[in-house]
Every structure is written in C-alpha cells, then in structure tokens.
C-alpha cells in the first residue's frame, strides 16, 4: 500500500498543532481585556448609524434598580423613554410587535446586560415579573391607526386589559400613554384635563380616540376595584428624531417635503392649530408622572400654538427649501384647534417644556436629512389609511 504524499497544508496543520501553549501571563492579560470589554459594554450604549451618540449608564445597587416594562418601546417615543431609563441604571424590557416600531431605534442597547427586547403583541397576554409598566403600545398617527381600525381598537382595549392584569398580578405601577385626541374637536380652548371632549364615536379617527378613552376608563376601574397603582398621561403632538419617516404627521411630512424641495401639502386652509413638544420634554414628563404621587390624568404638551400654515412656512424656511405650499381638501374630523393646558403638570409634577420648538426642529431636521440621504428619496404618506413601510402586520 502506497503512503499518501504530504503537502503544504499538512505541514501547516502539524506546525499549528505544535505551537507553544498560551502562557499563564498571556492568558491572564486576555481575560483582563475580556473583563474590561464587558464592563465597558455594561456602562454605555454602542454607537449605531441610527443613534451615533454614546449614552452612558450608571450602576445601581439591587435595592434601587427597577425592572421596567415598556410596551411599544421600539417606537418613536418609546425608544427615547428607554434611553432615559437605561441611562438611569434600570433594567428595561421592551415589548413591540414592530408594526410602527423599528429595531434600529433600540439596537444601540442590544448588547447591554440590562436590556431585553421581545417581539410580542400586547393583544396577547404575557407573564413577566416587573416593577413598573409604561404602556405605550399603539399606532399614533392617523394613516397608521386607520390602516387596521379593528386592530387599533384591540390594542387599546385588549392590550390595556392584558397590561392591567399583569400590573395587578405583580403589583406593578402602570402608566398609560393616552392622548389629546380624547378631547376630539374641542369647544374649550386650551384643553384642561377636566374637559370631557367633543367626539365623533363613528368617525374615521374613532378607532384611536375611543380606544384611548375606554383604556382610561379601564385604568380607573382596575384602580378602584383592584387597587392597581395607575398613571395617565394625555400626550399632545410630539416630534423629534426617530419619528417614522412615513407616519404622515405634519412635522415629518413638512420636513421631508422641504428637504426634497417638493410641494408642502396642507389639508384644509391651514388655519387649524396645533401645539408641538420636543420628545425629550415628553419623556421627562412621563418619568415624573410615573415616579410622583398624582394619579389623575395629566396633559403633557407644549402650550406654544401654531397654525398649520405658519408651521409649514417655518419649517420650509429653516430647511432653506424652495418648496411651494399646496392646499388640498380637508381631512374628515380633523380638529380645528389643539393646545395643551399644562397647569396640572406644573402644579403636581413641577414639569413644563424646556426645549423650544425652534431648537427641537433643528435636531429633527438633521435627523430627517440623514433619513433622506440614506433612502435616496422618501415619499411622504398622505392622510389616507396606510401601512407603515417595512412593518409587520398582525390581526
């Protein structure tokens, strides 16, 4: 029998096997580097294209560190809330079905030992052990929540029942992200928490408005019957980085259209008014509400009021755009005015917005410039029901 001839590969293999073993000193240094890397990863976020800045985290003792659930935590507002909770040293669990949420919004935390991400729909029950629940899950822009109105209602009702059941079981405090939309097309201006609203229960926006109204009702039913600790934030128009480029809201549409020198579309004559708050201010308000003792509904918004026409002109000028403003037919049930009365937040939470609209828009325009550069072109979403680009759909 002939002997197989050896080749260079065999020689290299035998050479590798005969290399000297790692010395104790080298092994010690390698382990020290590994430990140092792990400690670094546990002390900050990792810069990503979507969130390039580093967010440092503190290390809390077990007695102070909370385990906090954020439903809808991969969404626009939820991801900013996650940043604040993580930086404070808490353990955060994000639940999201990624209908409007995006993994890119939280990918800078995926390595961190205090962070967990679960793809889950809140209309299905779940068993977890947590200390606090921020219940933000629900599409919030009209084109998105009108795309599947039955699912929107399920999210606000069944989803809230499931989260309240969890809060009851584990004795966690729960905060509901409600909305200024519960005031409908208001006849009282600005809108205080005592105002009951002027709503259309069968209109195109009712799936969202009425879903949030019944969610508030359920919160207080569980509080009164089961002694669940509840908080309700009525959130007014909010803007900032990580807004979904195709959410169809005026801020994102106006900026995207201006950056691309496309016509800025206004539905109606532009006289309708809104008040806009920067997302960092909202997050601060949510945390103050959760940590405080006040358990009645609280408006969280910026009382600075703009007509939609003036706001479009302001954004166009800030973008240095050549866009023309184009007026299209008004949208059904679009509120004619919206302005937050924040006296309760000032009195009970010592909260009021700190970031001016101008300052917030500079940061938001910079974010959307990056989105447009990455995509090449973004076609804004109109007022009609539309599925978010790149989303998952569940029944």
Amino acid 106: pLDDT: 97
Amino acid 275: pLDDT: 94
pLDDT in tens, 170-227: 999 999 999 999 999 999 999 999 999 999 999 999 999 999 999 999 999 999 999 9
Q: Is the pLDDT score of 259 beyond 90?
A: yes
DSSP-assigned beta bridge partners for residue 325: 264
pLDDT tier, 22 (very low <50, low <70, confident <90, very high otherwise): confident
Amino acid 162: pLDDT: 98
pLDDT in tens, 303-327: 999 999 999 999 999 999 999 999 9
| Mean pLDDT (whole number) for 323-352 | 95
* Residues classed as catalytic: 208
How many Å apart are CA 188 and CA 337, to the nearest integer? 9
pLDDT in tens, 69-125: 999 999 999 999 999 999 999 999 999 999 999 999 999 999 999 999 999 999 999
Amino acid 223: pLDDT: 98
Do residues 165 and 133 touch, judged by C-beta distance below 8 A?
no
pLDDT in tens, 23-61: 888 777 787 687 777 888 788 999 998 899 999 999 999
Amino acid 30: pLDDT: 80
Amino acid 27: pLDDT: 76
| Mean pLDDT (whole number) for 343-348 | 98
Q: Is the pLDDT score of 9 beyond 60?
A: no
pLDDT in tens, 152-173: 999 999 999 999 999 999 999 9
DSSP tally for the chain: helices H, then strands E: 11, 13
How many Å apart are CA 108 and CA 348, to the nearest integer? 34
Torsion of CA 314, 317, 319, 320, to 10 degrees: 180
| Mean pLDDT (whole number) for 348-365 | 98
Scanning the structure block, which residue is given the tokens 């000193």?
25
User: What is the pLDDT of the chain when averaged over all its residues?
Assistant: 91
pLDDT in tens, 266-279: 999 999 999 999 99
* Percent of the chain surpassing pLDDT 70: 93
Q: Which residues make Cβ contacts (< 8 Å) with residue 377, sequence separation at least 6?
A: 260
CA distances from 355 to 76, 201, 245, 304, 359 (A): 17, 35, 22, 11, 6
Amino acid 240: pLDDT: 97
pLDDT tier, 366 (very low <50, low <70, confident <90, very high otherwise): very high
Inter-axis angle of helices 250-259 and 357-375, to 10 degrees? 60
Could you tell me which residue, 245 or 12, shows the higher pLDDT?
245
């Amino acid at each position: 029998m002939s002997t197989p001839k050896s080749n260079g590969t065999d020689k290299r293999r035998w050479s590798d096997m005969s290399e000297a073993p790692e010395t104790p000193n080298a092994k010690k240094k390698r382990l020290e580097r590994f430990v140092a890397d792990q400690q670094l990863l546990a002390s900050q976020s990792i810069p990503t294209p979507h969130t390039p800045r580093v967010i440092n985290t503190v290390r809390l003792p077990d007695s102070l560190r909370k385990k906090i659930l954020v439903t809808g935590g991969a969404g626009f507002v939820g991801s900013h809330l996650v940043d604040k909770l993580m930086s404070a040293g808490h353990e955060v669990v994000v639940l999201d079905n990624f209908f409007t949420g995006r993994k890119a919004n939280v990918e800078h935390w995926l390595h961190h030992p205090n962070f967990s991400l679960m793809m889950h729909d809140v209309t299905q029950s779940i068993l977890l052990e947590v200390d606090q629940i921020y219940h933000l899950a629900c599409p919030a822009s009209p084109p998105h929540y009108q795309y599947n109105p039955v699912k929107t209602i399920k999210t606000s009702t069944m989803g809230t029942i499931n989260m309240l059941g969890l809060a009851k079981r584990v004795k966690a405090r729960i905060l509901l992200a409600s909305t200024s939309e519960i005031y409908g097309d208001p006849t009282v201006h600005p809108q205080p928490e005592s105002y009951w609203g002027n709503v259309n229960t069968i209109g195109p926006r009712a799936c969202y408005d009425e879903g949030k109204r019944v969610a508030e009702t359920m919160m207080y039913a569980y509080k009164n019957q089961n002694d669940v600790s509840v908080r309700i934030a009525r959130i007014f128009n909010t803007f900032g980085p990580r807004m979904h480029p195709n959410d169809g809201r005026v801020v994102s549409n106006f900026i995207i259209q201006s950056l691309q020198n496309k016509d800025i579309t206004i539905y109606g004559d532009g006289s309708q008014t809104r008040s806009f708050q920067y997302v960092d201010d909202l997050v601060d308000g949510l945390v103050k509400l959760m940590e405080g003792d006040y358990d009645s509904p609280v408006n969280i918004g910026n009382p600075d009021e703009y007509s939609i026409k003036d706001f479009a002109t302001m954004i166009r000028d800030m973008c240095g755009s050549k866009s023309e403003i184009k007026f299209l037919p008004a949208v059904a049930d679009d509120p004619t005015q919206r302005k937050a009365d924040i006296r309760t937040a000032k009195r009970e939470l010592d909260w009021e917005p700190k970031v001016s609209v101008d300052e917030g828009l500079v940061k938001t325009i910079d974010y959307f410039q990056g989105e447009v550069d990455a995509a090449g072109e973004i076609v804004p979403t109109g007022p009609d029901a539309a599925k978010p680009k790149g989303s998952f759909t569940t029944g």
